[in-house]
Structure 1
Amino acid sequence: MQYEDMFRSVLRAFPTAAVISTCGHISRDLFNFQDREGNFYLVGSMGMAAPVGVGVALADPGRPVVVLDGDGSLAMNTGGMLSVGATGARLLHVALDNGVHGSTGGQRTVPFEDPVAAALAFGYRRALSVDTPDVDWASIDAFPAFVHAKVRPRDVPVGRRVVHTPDELRERFTRFLSVT
């Protein structure tokens, strides 16, 4: 499965969600796939997608929040998972696992032996592993939830960089949160 397969699946299932994407290629891929005010791209903030997502979920508990993380970013800050699990927030944490640090040259990531078991141990209410975009999203009926998504390493050039400045990202995301 490619990244965009999972993006398509998640965005179709959660069209009104606030989406927080980790730094690097995942944010660039999401930006090139479907730039929208409800996407908050964490340019240069490796390991911080889950903690930022928790903040958004706690500030607006009625809105679904989706965190798109990478396996390298997830390993960078597993403490962020503990924060997510402790809150009970309405948050879906999707870890896109391609086995490499794609944004820094393709170095192999340290394998996370059982991310589903770790998520449950950290307090996530539901966790599963998928290798296709055909996820039964309706079966995720308890939050926070964790989806470990096996994706293929990139085999095409990465798209253009996010063109919005950090201030523009903050302003448009704030606008999205206040309107919808």
Structure 2
Amino acid sequence: MKMTDAMQAVLNRYPDALYVSTCGYISRDFYNLQDTTNNFYLLGSMGMAAPVGLGLALTHPDKTVVVLDGDGSFMMNLGIIAMITAEQPQNLVHVVLDNRMYESTGGQKPVQFENMVDVARAAGYGHAVQVRDESEFAQLDGLEGLTFVQAMIAPRTEKIGKRIHWTPQELVERFRLEPQKG
């Protein structure tokens, strides 16, 4: 499954969610797929998508918050899953796009768990699933509460899209009022 196909499957399930995407190609792909003020792209903040998503989920419990994380960035800040599961935000969906590499820095192999779903379950996520193609996202239908998704994606074969043109400060300002919208 391509990264953008996995992202589109998530967008189809959570069209009104607030999105936080990790740095690198994940944010670039998400920006090129569907840029809206609901999207908060992290630039140069590896490992911080889940903490930002947790903060949003706790301060805006009426909104679904989706974190688009990478396998390397997830492992970089593994401790956040203890905080997420301690807080148990019922509106957080944590998606790890797992291509088994640090793709945007040259394809290095990260140190990681073979099955992140087992780790998420053991940590206390209410739901944890692994998907290998778009049809398997149907496992998310009807799930409510804290959810973890390990989406197995293929390494990129297509050209990377255009860069996000906003500065981090501009992204904050652009996103700042979005959670208050009805």
**Alpha-carbon deviations, 1:11-52, whole Å to 9, x = none?**
111111000000101000000111110000010110111111
Q: What is the CA–CA distance in structure 2 between the aligned matches of 1:29 and 1:3, rounded to whole Å?
A: 8
Superposed CA deviations along residues 54-86 of structure 1, whole A, max 9, x for unmatched, are 000000001000000000001101111111111
- 1:115-144 superposed Cα distances (whole Å, 9 cap, x missing partner): 111101111110010101121222422x21
Letter matched to residue 163 of structure 1:
H
Percent of aligned pairs sharing the same letter:
46
Which residue is 2:98 aligned to? 97
Q: Aligned-pair distance for 1:177?
A: 1.1
Q: Within 1, Cα distance between the matches of 2:157 and 2:81?
A: 29
Secondary structure of 1:53's counterpart equals helix
1:138 to 141, 165, 168: 141
Q: Report how many aligned residue pairs link the two structures.
A: 179
Correspondence for 1:152: 154
**TM-score, normalized by length of structure 1?**
0.96
Q: Distance in 2 between matches of 1:80 and 1:121?
A: 14
Alignment match, 1:8: 8
Structure 1 residue 145: Cα displacement: 0.6
The corresponding residue for 2:125 is 124
CA distance in 2, matches of 1:2, 1:162: 20
Q: Is there any run of 5+ residues in structure 1 with no aligned partner, and where?
A: none
CA RMSD of aligned residues (A): 1.1
Q: Residue 118 of structure 2 aligns to which amino acid in structure 1?
A: A
Amino acid at match of 1:164: W
Equivalent positions of 1:19-168 (< 5 A) are 19-89=19-89, 90-134=91-135, 135-136=137-138, 137-141=140-144, 143-168=145-170
How far apart, CA to CA, are the structure 2 residues paired with 1:74 and 1:33? 22
* Structure 1 moving runs of 4+ over 6 Å: none
Q: Which residues of structure 2 form unaligned runs of 5+?
A: none
Give SS of 1:100's match.
Answer: coil
State the shift of 1:158 in Å.
Answer: 1.3
Given residue 37 of structure 1, which amino acid in structure 2 is its aligned partner? T
CA distance in 2, matches of 1:2, 1:114: 19
